Amino acid sequence: MTRFLLGTLTFAGVATMGLGMAHAQTPDLSAPPAIDGEVVEDHGSHTIRMGIGLAESSPQYISSQHFADILEERSEGRLTVNIFPNSQLGDDVQMMEMLQTGTLDMSYPSSSPATTYVPELAAFDLPFLLPTREAAVAVMQSDVAQGMLDSFDGTGIKALAFSENGYRQLSNSVRPVETPEDVGGLDMGGLTIRTMENPVHLSIWETLGANPTPMAFGELFSAMEQGVVDGQENPWSTILTSNFHEVQDYGSETRHVYTPFIMMMSERTWDRLDPAYQDLVQEAARQSAAYEIQLAAEYDDWSRNQLEERGMQITRLNDEQIAAFQEAVQPVYDEWAPEIGEDLIAEIQAIAEETMSN
Ligand code: KDG
């Protein structure tokens, strides 16, 4: 049960709090997908250390545990995965460097800080590119996305699967945000917003008139607590499971960027595994990523409602207000589209549009 700990409350406690509410259903964690498939022959024993940024109650951790369970069951206990949550082994950037040197076996970063290895991933950082979750999932499962995973080959990192971090929403401790002007401040002064270590994100918040401050996720809670930054942006489930509502009074449902996660292994670890184990790892990554996408979708609105229950004032932006943000960040496209590749962006948009026309 420890993996469902959410702050000082158990998941069961939180779930009960949610039951009386008329909206989003409580995520059902009682039945992870069944593990089927044959047992893989004995090719030696390995213990795999996996570092992740988020808490034990996050979809990221719960699905990583499912990954571990698949390996353990199908190798009859010969492949063991130890998961280290809460950025305790380092932030996304540091953990990717550890994968390269082989001092860590696996990690599960956002795609955004991984653009230093595969620049095309920055397409995902473009604001309002993927309007629906279905479109985002179709893109992550496309050949275009597989090409991005393959592009890691030779970097020291084996990229295994995309899954969902999710739609990013703005939170802050200063004021409700309904318009781009509320971010940029005019006479009020722009909000200081922590961003991931990614130039497109910097450009988004600069364009909106904020003071963007790139920072490791693990330092974010105390930076907000101490007032070093006014706000940050992350999916509702991260805001909830990382207890950001304790230091952030206001949330705005901006959905400005859809961020994928990428499950990764050190190439050194990968090369040490027998091909039969490599196939198992790849299959388990795909299955647990699919489970993570399902969990993340279930957590999204539910987490927002939980945050409201706990006193966060959340502004749901209407279509007109979203359009105002979309228009305000247009210069980000002008700056970044040529760099990322107009053809790549068009390909992604075509996949998204096809999904939405079905
Ligand atoms: O393990 C993933 C997290 O460390 C991180 O990617 C979460 O979106 C995130 C952020 O804002 O850093």
Say what the pLDDT of residue 28 is.
Answer: 77
93 alpha carbon to ligand 1 midpoint, in Å? 10
- Residue of 170, 200, 217 to mutate, ligand 1, most atoms within 8 A of C-beta: 217
Place of tokens 């960027």: 257
Say what the pLDDT of residue 23 is.
Answer: 47
Give the DSSP H/E element, type plus range, for residue 314. strand 313-315
Beta-carbon contacts of 222 under 8 Å, excluding residues fewer than 6 positions away, are none
- Distance in angstroms (rounded) separating the CA atoms of residues 341 and 338: 5
- Ligand 1 pocket (Cβ < 6 Å) reads 52-54, 87, 92, 108-110, 165, 196, 217, 234, 259
Distance, first Cα to last Cα, the chain:
40
* pLDDT tens profile 226-258: 999 999 999 999 999 999 999 999 999 999 999
Q: Please give the share of the chain, as a percent, with pLDDT higher than 90.
A: 88
87 Cα nearest atom in ligand 1: 4
Q: Give the three-state DSSP class for 327.
A: helix
Give the DSSP H/E element, type plus range, for residue 347. helix 342-357
Beta-carbon contacts of 157 under 8 Å, excluding residues fewer than 6 positions away, are 96, 99, 100, 117, 264, 265, 266, 267
- What is the greatest pairwise CA distance in the chain? 67
* pLDDT tens profile 173-187: 999 999 999 999 766
Burial state string for 282-315 with b = 16 or more CB within 10 A and e = fewer than 16:
bbbbbbbbbbbbbbbbbbbebbbbbbbeeebebb
158 alpha carbon to ligand 1 midpoint, in Å? 19
169-257+310-357 belongs to which homologous superfamily? Answer: Bacterial extracellular solute-binding protein, family 7 (3.40.190.170)
168 Cα nearest atom in ligand 1: 8
Structure tokens at 35: 């593990």
232 Cα nearest atom in ligand 1: 11
Q: Is residue 31 pLDDT above 90, yes or no? A: no
Mean pLDDT of the residues in the chain? 92
- Looking at residue 156, what DSSP letter applies? T
Structure tokens at 218: 């693990």
One-letter amino acid for residue 80 of the chain: T
Say what the pLDDT of residue 165 is.
Answer: 98
92 Cα nearest atom in ligand 1: 4
- Distance in angstroms (rounded) separating the CA atoms of residues 235 and 207: 21
54 alpha carbon to ligand 1 midpoint, in Å? 7
218 Cα nearest atom in ligand 1: 4
DSSP 47-79: EEEEE-SS-TTSHHHHHHHHHHHHHHHHTTTSE
189 confidence band (pLDDT: 50, 70, 90): confident
Q: Is residue 18 pLDDT above 50, yes or no? A: no
Beta-carbon contacts of 108 under 8 Å, excluding residues fewer than 6 positions away, are 50, 52, 53, 60, 64, 261, 262, 263, 264
91 Cα nearest atom in ligand 1: 4
- Residue of 165, 202, 300 to mutate, ligand 1, most atoms within 8 A of C-beta: 165
What are the residue boundaries of the structural domains of the chain, listed by start?
Answer: 169-257+310-357
- Residue of 196, 233, 240 to mutate, ligand 1, most atoms within 8 A of C-beta: 196
Give the residue-averaged pLDDT of 290-303: 96
58 alpha carbon to ligand 1 midpoint, in Å? 11
Chain-centre distance for alpha carbon 206: 22
23 alpha carbon to ligand 1 midpoint, in Å? 27
Is ipTM strictly over 0.90?
A: yes
* pLDDT tens profile 72-100: 999 999 999 999 999 999 999 999 999 99
Structure tokens at 65: 């545990």
Q: Please give the share of the chain, as a percent, with pLDDT higher than 70.
A: 92
Cα distances from 210 to residues 33, 41, 183, 201, 218, in angstroms, run: 43, 56, 6, 11, 22
CA neighbours closer than 13 Å in the CB half-sphere of residue 300: 19
